[in-house]
Amino acid sequence: MCGIVAYVGEKEAYPIIIEGLKRLEYRGYDSAGISVINGDLATFKCKGKVSDLEAVILDGPLHGNVGIGHTRWATHGVPNDVNAHPHLSGDGNLSIIHNGIIENYAPLKQALENLGHVFKSDTDTEVLIHLIEEVKKEDNLSLEEATRRALQKVVGAYAIVILDKENPHKIVGAKKSSPLVFGIGDGEYFLASDASPMVKYTDKVIYLKDEEIITIDLNEGYEIRTIENEIKKPKVLQIDLKIEELEKGGYEHFMLKEIYQQPITIAESMRGRINAAEGWGKLGGMELHMNRFLNAKRIVLTACGTSWHAAMIAEYLFEDLARIPTEVEYASEFRYRNPIISPDDVIIALSQSGETADTLAAVKLAKSKGAFIYGIVNNVGSTIARTTDSGSYIHAGPEIGVASTKAFTSQLTVLTLMAIILGYQKGKISEDYYRQLLAEMESVPTLVSKILAKADQIKYIAGEVRNASNALYLGRGYNFPIALEGALKLKEISYIHAEGYPAAEMKHGPIALIDMYMPVVIIATNKSAHEKIISNIQEVKARKGIVIAVITEGDQTIKEMADFSIEIPNIAEPLSPLLAVIPLQILSYHIAVMRGCHVDQPRNLAKSVTVE
Ligand code: M6R
């Protein structure tokens, strides 16, 4: 994880780096630091957020036109001032920021200690900068050449940027498995974990590839080489990212903004892909490979966290509508359990960030076995998007709140559309049902707006259960994964322990937990299992649990049974998760705010998990 940003140009580096770090804080926020070249190498760092770093730099902003900054999510060494980045070489001339993990840091550290190096921190990063220093001194090499040779000795993942006090106009960056974007402005250059710190200044970027090293010199321009010393001339891309998309836009939190954006973002994920009146749905990336999908013996979806919940719903969708055997795998398990993968399989990788290390590793594994890999990704140009054979972007726009909301509904929109198209093309659903589903898909943004209009009612319920220590989420069929997602949303931002279960499984264990203090959120919109859900609610009520039911509009029976109910519009069952998740997002948000939690940056988490 971690966010890194670097600037070389004519402007003051400090404000650009600080602003850039604030944009990258979603990647980690347990400590922050900055180095700026100003004759000397001025380095400040501390435990805490970027705002804490600003407070540490008491004498006002640092001056200098070349600098690097870092916001950390700890891997090696607890979050404290010493372990914060940047880290300096032994002689204090070099300063490094790093996102990733140096796996062989222990033997490297031992070898360096044998040569007399002394380390101040517990980090793998400090080992790396001492290694570069050692290689540089040994053969009197340039910084870029020393970096290239040092990286040949390194096992692990890295996006790094290094400053050299003796070369004040130059920075060197390199990447492997962690992202690094190079921005080309007017007489100025940027390096960062994503494009957000540079979008104010340029829309021209190069996404560096693994094992590429970039040298940026204010006077001489830039040069990219591979670790094998081959010169590369990558294409400069133009990105379409607007600064407003990175701001809260009047909302108190990014999460709230993103919840409220969903009518628009769901519509964006369908734009140009569906026309119910004309009776067609299409996804460009899928059309190009339709035979792979139609002849797939099996679809395997792989993802992590909330994306994994979207994948679970896709299992229900693909099997129900298209009758294609489908499996869902946690990317981290898939990666390490020696799975059976054949060239007839279609592997679908889901990731909002497109950078999740476990998902990327799963993609690479499946690719090595000859399977066809389809990506469903939000972040355009991200590593997973570039590694898959084909795919569909979800077009949700930047998601900055750590808790995923709009990306989830956009992933679901694309997956639902895929299942409808495949079901129809395989002759598994009738023309009438196909057209009905397309029409109902088109109505989803309006129906989501209707649910958002009930936010005050949901906020009231949040107030009634805000002090709970535990919560249970129950759902059946299509809405079982929504129960999992509701529980994840609550626990990650409010720190209330919550579990999601298939409603019928409750009686096999979790029922023992239910008492008068336990809120039980039941997604009770299923038409196919309405009676069964009613029985589950009775079972909870009999144990005095507090029932919060998400019901279909007009469901008087459950409304009268539940302590609290939230009505959502009627919709075809396969589409119901798209609506049912919205009240659960709002509920978690308000509970977290009422408990005084940091909604956008929950403790111990980061938006993009780029370590395995
Ligand atoms: O970027 P990705 O979709 O690959 O991220 C996967 C998970 O890390 C992510 O969904 C995480 O679980 C969120 N914090 C959930 O809100």
pLDDT in tens, 270-310: 999 999 999 999 999 999 999 999 999 999 999 999 999 99
The confidence band for 504, taking pLDDT boundaries of 50, 70 and 90, is confident
Distance of CA 498 from the midpoint of ligand 1 (Å): 17
Q: Do domains 252-452 and 454-602 have the same CATH topology?
A: yes
The answer to whether the CB of 65 is under 6 A from ligand 1 is: no
The answer to whether the CB of 552 is under 6 A from ligand 1 is: no
Please measure the distance between the N-terminal and C-terminal CA atoms of the chain and give it in whole angstroms.
10
Residue 518: name the closest of 552, 485, 560, 487 by CA: 487
Counting from 1 in the atom list of ligand 1, the atom nearest the Cα of 305 is: 12
**DSSP conformation class of 204:** E
Supply angle C-alpha 424, 427, 430, rounded to 5. 65
The confidence band for 453, taking pLDDT boundaries of 50, 70 and 90, is very high
Share of the chain above pLDDT 70, in %: 100
Give the fold, CATH level 3, of 454-602: Rossmann fold (3.40.50)
pLDDT tens-digit profile of 202-240? 999 999 999 999 999 999 999 999 999 999 999 999 988
Counting from 1 in the atom list of ligand 1, the atom nearest the Cα of 384 is: 4
552 CB contacts (<8 Å, ≥6 apart)?
525, 527, 567, 568, 569, 570
Is it the case that residue 75 has pLDDT exceeding 80? no
Distance of CA 352 from the midpoint of ligand 1 (Å): 7
Q: Quick one: 252-452 is in which CATH superfamily?
A: Glucose-6-phosphate isomerase like protein; domain 1 (3.40.50.10490)
Residue-level pLDDT at 19: 95
Is it the case that residue 76 has pLDDT exceeding 90? no
* Maximum distance among all Cα pairs of the chain, rounded to whole angstroms: 81
- Averaged over 443-461, what is the pLDDT? 97
Weakest mean pLDDT among 143-152, 399-408, 536-545: 536-545
Residue-level pLDDT at 160: 97
- Averaged over 506-515, what is the pLDDT? 87
The answer to whether the CB of 402 is under 6 A from ligand 1 is: yes
Is it the case that residue 246 has pLDDT exceeding 90? no
Distance of CA 356 from the midpoint of ligand 1 (Å): 8
User: Over the range 443-481, which residues count as b (16 or more CB within 10 Å of their CB) and which as e?
Assistant: ebbebbeebbeebeebbebbeebbebebbbbbbbbbbbb
Is it the case that residue 530 has pLDDT exceeding 90? no
Separation CA 113–CA 430 (nearest Å): 71
The amino acid occupying position 290 is: M
Separation CA 4–CA 610 (nearest Å): 13
Separation CA 206–CA 538 (nearest Å): 58
Distance of CA 402 from the midpoint of ligand 1 (Å): 8
Residue 71: name the closest of 125, 25, 12, 139 by CA: 25
Q: Is 118 helix (H, G, I), strand (E, B) or coil?
A: coil
- Averaged over 482-497, what is the pLDDT? 97
The answer to whether the CB of 351 is under 6 A from ligand 1 is: yes
Residue-level pLDDT at 214: 98
Is it the case that residue 606 has pLDDT exceeding 90? no
163 phi and psi, to 5 degrees?
-105, 150
Distance of CA 493 from the midpoint of ligand 1 (Å): 13
Is it the case that residue 397 has pLDDT exceeding 80? yes
Q: Where are the beta strands (DSSP E) in 268-344?
A: 274-275, 280-281, 298-303, 326-330
CATH 3.40.309.10 fits 3-245, yes or no: no
Separation CA 547–CA 540 (nearest Å): 7
The confidence band for 190, taking pLDDT boundaries of 50, 70 and 90, is very high
Separation CA 137–CA 149 (nearest Å): 12
For residue 608, give Cα distances in angstroms to 54, 62, 285, 538.
24, 29, 25, 41
Domain boundaries, the chain: 3-245, 252-452, 454-602
pLDDT tens-digit profile of 1-34? 789 999 999 999 999 999 999 999 888 888 999 9
The answer to whether the CB of 494 is under 6 A from ligand 1 is: no
pTM attached to this predicted model:
0.83
Q: How deeply is 356 buried, as exposed, middle or buried, from its count of CB atoms within 10 A (0-12, 13-18, 19+)?
A: buried
Let me know: does 72 contact 86? Beta carbons within 8 Å: no
Separation CA 484–CA 352 (nearest Å): 18
Give nearest CA residue, ligand 1 atom 8: 305
Residue 351: name the closest of 326, 328, 317, 385 by CA: 385
The amino acid occupying position 71 is: T
Partners of 463 in beta bridges:
none
Element (H, E) at 568: strand 564-568
The confidence band for 312, taking pLDDT boundaries of 50, 70 and 90, is very high
* Residue positions annotated with a catalytic role: 2, 607
